[in-house]
Structure 1
Amino acid sequence: MTRKKPANNTHYSLYYYDSCPFCARVLRALDQVNVEVELRNIMSDSNHRSDQQKATGRNTVPCLRIDNGTDSEWMFESMDIMRFLQSL
């Protein structure tokens, strides 16, 4: 599942789960921005949880993965993610 149109060549993935209130806050913010973000539910797909754990050592959500094709940056904290998305 994705939301909105792509902003550029950077790929964004949001690691989340449905009952997380901080994730819900970020998901609502996604409705306000024109950025394509792939949604990766770590509770419904163990591969997503495993990918995040291997890359960051954490299973904390929400987590935004910012992949520019050569490097990936992982952003935690709902307010930081929301500010970042609104800046695009």
Structure 2
Amino acid sequence: MKYALYYHDYCPFCQRVLMTLPSFRVKVEKRNVMENPEFRKQQQAATGRTTVPCLLIENGDSQEWMYESSDIIAYLKGL
């Protein structure tokens, strides 16, 4: 499985998730949507939304997009 967090620096909910990432056992790629507009376009094309934070969970050809900082933290903590 691969994980990518869509975020931007000025979002307090994003910061909440970012601060917890080092405590998890899985590697999460960070995708700053303000620094790279392609990340925002990818998210919008896949979900119809540009809300951050958003965790992309890839399992082979399957993708799941998870919103809400508390849900993302709880999910990653459970891995």
Pairs aligned (count) = 79
TM superposition outliers: structure 1 runs of 4+ over 4 Å: none
The structure in which a higher percent of residues are helix is 2
Cα RMSD, aligned residues only: 0.5
Counterpart for residue 41 of structure 1 = 32
SS in 2 for 1:29: helix
Give me the TM-score of the superposition, normalised by structure 1: 0.88
Residue 66 (1) aligns with residue 57 (2): yes
Unaligned 5+ residue runs, structure 2?
A: none
Q: Which runs of 5+ in 1 are unaligned?
A: 1-9
Q: CA deviation at 1:64?
A: 0.1
Alignment match, 2:68: 77
CA distance in 1, matches of 2:24, 2:58: 18
Quote the offset at 1:43 in angstroms: 0.3
What one-letter code is carried by the residue in structure 2 that aligns with 1:43? M
